Amino acid sequence: MTASFFWLASYPKSGSTWLRAFLQNLLTKSPEPASINDLTTGAIASARNWIDDLLGFDTADLYRNEVARLRPESYRFASTVASGPQYFKIHDANVRVDGDRRLIDLNATAGALYLIRNPLDVAISLANHNGCSIDRAIDLMADAGHCLSPHANDRLHNQVEQRLLTWSSHVESWVDDPELETEVLRYEDMGTKPQHAFAAAAAFLRIQTDPANIDRAIRHSQFEGLKAQEERDSFRERSTHSSRFFRKGLIGDWKRTLTRSQINRIVDQHGTVMARFGYLDSGGDPWIG
């Protein structure tokens, strides 16, 4: 059995849709930019329908611990019948479920491309996405118990519960996993040195391609193009709390938007991981660039 799944792992609002748009354009080689509403690569791992289909019964009728326990089995099975490499977006932290069982089954996994973005900018984007204050977003990023689509006993989400941990723990859960082949892709590098960043991503994902195709895929997935598509066609993955999914996409927006106290809180909470990935200068201050 050859492990066939690549996980496109990220904390929310770190550019995974941008990456998926790039991959879609890279793989389809279409002369026109791919539609943002037709990103067939990187279906999210937490999609309830996908898991239900694999299991043959409804996760809606399961308890929280049952869903968590059965997810690894679903991925493992799906990987055994996959016809080639497949790419799945995932926001879960790389956690263990049910004692010591991995959520991401190693037998199913070829590797994880971890997308990281400066948490100072993530906080702004997350606040917009959730329709909450920036301070609340900063709280969430520091909350080890934070979950997306939290399991509720009295209603249903179209995704199953995803444990995020804190922003720092999320990063470390993926990139420090000694058993997992990982590659880190910085959001900032996708913007400032796209050829290099996207070529490295494509190589890690074992996608046979050439520089011209990568250039074309980069052009077709440029932020302004995605934003124009959303203005024209709307975007089905937009949060209902937010009027736009593709909002600013800026690198370093925090310099204009965050207060000194908000910056300090994020640096206090996540400074170690920020320094490691080049988001702090040698003096421990946010890197202005």
Partner 1 sequence: MEQGRHRYFAFGLTLASDLRLPEFTEALHIGDAEVDIRAGAVPSSGAEIGARIGPFVCATKNMLWLRVPGVARFLVRDGREITYAVEATADESSLRVFMLGSCIGALLLQRGQLVLHGNAFEVADGCVICVGTSGAGKSTLAARMLQRGHRILADDVCPIDMEARAVPGLPRLKLWQDAARRLKIGTDGLRRIRPSLDKFDVPLDGMYCDEPLPIRAIYLLRPWNEPRLLSEPVIGLAKYPALRANSYRFRFLKGMGEEPRHLAQCSRLAARVPIARVHRPKSGFDVDGLADLILEDLACRPAS
Interacting residues with partner 1 (CB under 8 A) = 48-49, 52-61, 63, 66, 69-70, 73-74, 76-77, 152-158, 234-236, 238-240
Q: How many CB atoms within 10 Å of residue 203?
A: 13
Residue closer to partner 1 by CB (options 238, 255) is 238
- Those residues with Cβ within 8 angstroms of residue 100's Cβ, 6 or more apart along the chain or in another chain: none
The DSSP bridge pattern shows strands 5-10 and 109-116 to be: parallel
- Output 129 or 265, the one with its CB closest to partner 1: 129
Smallest distance, partner 1 to C-beta of residue 155, A: 4
3-class DSSP assignment, residue 43: strand
- Other residues' Cβ atoms within 10 Å of the Cβ of residue 47: 15
Burial of residue 132 (number of CB atoms within 10 Å: 0-12, 13-18, 19+): middle
Smallest distance from partner 1 to CB 234, Å: 6
- Quick one: 83 or 158, whose CB is closer to partner 1? 158
Minimum distance from CB of 154 to partner 1 (Å)? 4
- For partner 1, give the closer residue by CB, 76 or 117: 76
Which helix (DSSP H) or strand (DSSP E) does residue 89 occupy? strand 86-90
- Tell me the C-alpha distance between 288 and 66, whole Å: 46
To which residue do tokens 């996608």 refer?
A: 207
Report the nearest approach of partner 1 to the CB of residue 245 (Å): 9
Tell me whether residue 158 or residue 282 sits nearer to partner 1 (CB atom): 158
Residue 55 CB, shortest distance to partner 1, in Å, is 6
